[in-house]
Amino acid sequence: MTKEFPKGFLWGAAASAQQLEGASSEAKKAKTVWDYWYAKEPDKFYQKRGPEHTSNFYYRYKEDIVLMKNVGFNSFRTSISWARLIPDGKKVNKEAVSFYRDLFERLNKEGIKPIANLFHFDMPLRLHKIGGWENKEVLEEFYYYAKVAFETFGDLVFDWVTFNEPIVPIEMGYLNDKHLPGIWDMERAMQAGFNTMVAHKKAVKAFKEANIEGGKIGIILNLTPSYPKGENVEDIRAAEIADAFFNKSFLDPAVLGRYPRVIRDVLKTEGIKVNYSQEELDLIKNYKVDFLGVNYYQPRRVQKGDSKSNFKQGFEKYFRSYKWPKAKMNPHRGWEIYEKGIYDIAINLRDCYSNIPWFVAENGMGVEGEEKFIKNGMVMDDYRIEFMSEHLTWLHKAIQEGSNCFGYHVWTFIDNWSWLNEYKNRYGLYRVDLLNQKRTIKKSGRWFYNLATTNKLIENN
């Protein structure tokens, strides 16, 4: 059976500056929090591979754009490095401007629409040292950075996003130790999260002020449906609260201009205070996004919480995770594969968020030890083809039912560096040999070319 997608549908991939570019201490780039952390504690990083080289896109982007065409891309999303573009927060780095302008020009010339993201976890170290998103001064710095980006590249890029997965640095940095500052403090997490949303709104304001003809601005959120363990009141309430904090905490203010009541009620009950001004609330209300990017990998399964838990150190008081007995798992990554989740997201956006235009900004399957699937020099990643195909089947169903989805991007184009995990889990349509940086197309890359160039999903393709 053949499933055709809407005319002009975007096919491509997502990436980020820190994970792809390399040249982390070159071309006048300032240090990010990741450069600092790796220099300080390299043992925390898988195989002690840091962000200096990664996949060397900074030096290989010209040939990599050719590889994008070879898998049928008509679009590509990456981020601008804040620390590269404005190393000291004041003076614009001419070398960074030359790199990004040439990148965007070449993408446009090849018929690959660039989508530029302002922030993808790579806080400049100088701003991390003064508190990062907890410090209101950083919000003004972000506003200035956004203005510079729009003014410098607005003639080449017309589709912009402010943040990728803004909840991740909050969850992983304030309720976990996977990002810095690596503490457990709910009150600081809530303040940093609120400030991040204000920073997003300031960037949207800067975009409107830039008046880029034909330009649109959005945000990319990792929306993860929360499914209750049972039909009882406690489990359903647990799923509602999980959904509020992990999805609606950024989705509602970004799209609707307000926070859900359940979040306000829980914070009031727990005595968690967030500092804000009326001006900030007005920003949140008035500067809404034009479109939404959605990253989807796995669902969230929850059950009723443990009333004895301390809310200030985590959410277990209100909901706990559980393993669904019928779950299909990715044995190489440990994540559940639940393709219908993408359909549920699509219908929710259709019915509860004015059918906002949106695209799948990330979807992919990470596999550890992927070299064991190499045959005759090619990774035979049928598992990745199956993963994409089944998610696209559900996405196509949602589009047929009226969901306003305009594109599908995989994570990622080529294997890239991934925070503390480095290259442990491979996601790319091309394999990267870390010894010589050679790129080799995988079976999924050839499959994706047929998908993108025909605009059709053909079963057993």
| Residue in 134, 362, 370, 422 annotated catalytic | 362
If 0-12 CB within 10 Å is exposed, 13-18 middle and 19+ buried, where does residue 446 land?
Answer: middle
Return d(Cα 45, Cα 50) in angstroms, integer: 7
* Burial letters 145-165, b for 16+ CB under 10 A, else e: bbbbbbebbbebbbbbbbbbb
405, 8 Cβ separation under 8 angstroms: no
Instruction: Examine the residue annotation and report whether 21 is marked as an active-site residue of this protein.
Output: no
- Residue that is written with structure tokens 């959605």 in the block: 294
Instruction: Examine the residue annotation and report whether 386 is marked as an active-site residue of this protein.
Output: no
| Residue in 165, 171, 336, 422 annotated catalytic | 165
Return d(Cα 337, Cα 165) in angstroms, integer: 20
CA distances from 114 to 238, 255, 299, 407, 439 (A): 39, 23, 29, 13, 21
* Burial letters 358-388, b for 16+ CB under 10 A, else e: bbbbbbbbbbbebeebeeeeebebebbbebb
H or E stretch at 409: strand 405-410
440, 433 Cβ separation under 8 angstroms: yes
What's at 146, amino acid-wise?
Answer: A
What does the chain come to in residues? 461
Listing DSSP states for 28-83 in one string gives: TPPPBHHHHHHHH-GGGSGGG--TTTTT-HHHHHHHHHHHHHHTT-SEEEEE--HH
CA distances from 230 to 29, 248, 320, 322 (A): 51, 22, 13, 11
Catalytic residue ranges:
165, 362
